[in-house]
Structures are given as C-alpha cells and as structure tokens.
Amino acid sequence: MTSNVLLSLALFAFVNSITPGPNNVMLTASGASFGYRRSLPHMLGITLGVAIMLLLVGAGLGTVFEAMPGLYVALKYIGAVYLLYLAWRIARAGAVEAGETAGKPFTFLQAAAFQWVNPKAWIMAVGIIATYMPREPFLSNLITAVIVLSLINFPSISLWTLCGSAVRRALRKPAAIQWFNRCMALLLVASLYPIVLPLFAA
C-alpha cells in the first residue's frame, strides 16, 4: 500500500469515524448518562466490531450480499428497527449518579454486535474494501487497513463520549439530562434518513 493510498484511507476512516452517526450519537448520550469510564466498553466494542466487520467483508462476505441482495436489504431494515428501539431507550434514560444501579451502558459485546446492523459501519467497511484496498498483496493490505481504521476510530469516537461527559457535568439537574437524552434520541432517529429516503422515492 503506497503512502498516498494510506493517507487517503486514513482520511476516509477519520471522516467516517468523527462525523455524526448512530455510534457517536449513542456515545454522546452514554457519556452524559454514565460518564467516560463506564462508556469505555461501549467504545472498545465499536472499534473492535468495525475492525472485525472490515476483516470479514474483505475476506469475502461482500460477495454473499452480491449473490443474495435480499439478505442485505433485510439486515438494513432490521438495523433501522433496532435503532428506533435504541432511540426509545436513550429518550427514557436519565443521569446515573454514583451508587445507582438503574440503567446500564452498552457492554463490549453489545456494541460490537451492533455494528452488523449499523448502516454507517457497513458503508465504511465496504467503502474501504472497494475504494482504498489494492488487490496485491491483498492480505497484508487488509491487515494494514484494519490497523489504520482501529487507530483512527477509537480516539475519534472518544471525543463524542468526552463531549457527553462534559455535558453531564454541566447539566446538573436530572431533568436537564433527560431533555439532552431526548435530543440525542431524535438525532439517532434522524440518522435513519439514508435508509428511509428510498422508501418515499420508490
């Protein structure tokens, strides 16, 4: 992989990791409700989940969806329904004070599994393979892409959690956190726009 391709790949990974999307909206809400430390498993799960997705797509999973396009469409709409459920959970969440047990942040495994129904994660994985992956030597290029994506993704999504954590300190009243989480839930619903738009265009 040449330095120019590597730089382009890094830029693509950064833009996709830092811009708003389901993962970052949920991390902002998690940081506001639970703080940065308790949101760490959520962040690590996102980074590893996207890395595994990239590996499997590069290893040939994309050809499965080419052969069975209905499977990809079904997965996309299952993801949309699940995102609506997550938006509902976020809207109902409030601040969790020290010593409280009500409400839990995403676990590592939940966050990793969520990437398989996250449209933005699919766009990133397929985009990297289709656009930034030289075919020879394929395996070393794929491993390089996974490493670059992971090194860029984690600090990028961490910024969103830190923003949420900062909001948590600024919004002292539980009602303020609740309203903040409702706004995050609305943004999460808005992130479904690329999925819902084709339905109205048909």
Digitized pLDDT (tens) for each residue of the chain, 202 residues in all:
778 888 888 988 898 898 888 899 889 989 988 889 999 999 999 999 999 999 988 887 656 666 777 766 676 677 667 767 777 776 776 554 444 434 688 899 999 999 988 878 888 888 888 777 776 777 888 899 999 999 999 999 999 999 988 887 776 666 766 777 777 777 767 766 655 555 444 4
Exposure letters 54-85 (e unless 16+ CB within 10 A, then b): beebbeeebeebeeeeeeeeeeeeebbeebee
The predicted model scores a pTM of 0.75
9 in a structural domain: no
- Pull the structure tokens for residue 194: 């690329």
- Mark residue 99 as left, alpha or beta (left: phi above 0; alpha: psi -120 to 50; beta: remaining): left
Give the list of residues 6+ apart from residue 77 with CB closer than 8 angstroms, or none: 195
Domain that holds residue 169: 41-94+107-197
Q: Is 1 inside any structural domain?
A: no
Q: What per-residue confidence (pLDDT) applies to 101?
A: 39
In a domain, 5, yes or no: no
Structural domain includes residue 141: yes
Q: What is the pLDDT of residue 109?
A: 94
Q: So what's the pLDDT on residue 191?
A: 62
Q: Has residue 8 been placed in a domain? A: no
184 inside domain: yes
Number of domains in the chain: 1
Whether residue 47 contacts residue 158, with contact meaning beta carbons closer than 8 Å, is answered with no
Residue 100 lies in a domain: no
Q: Is residue 30 part of a domain?
A: no
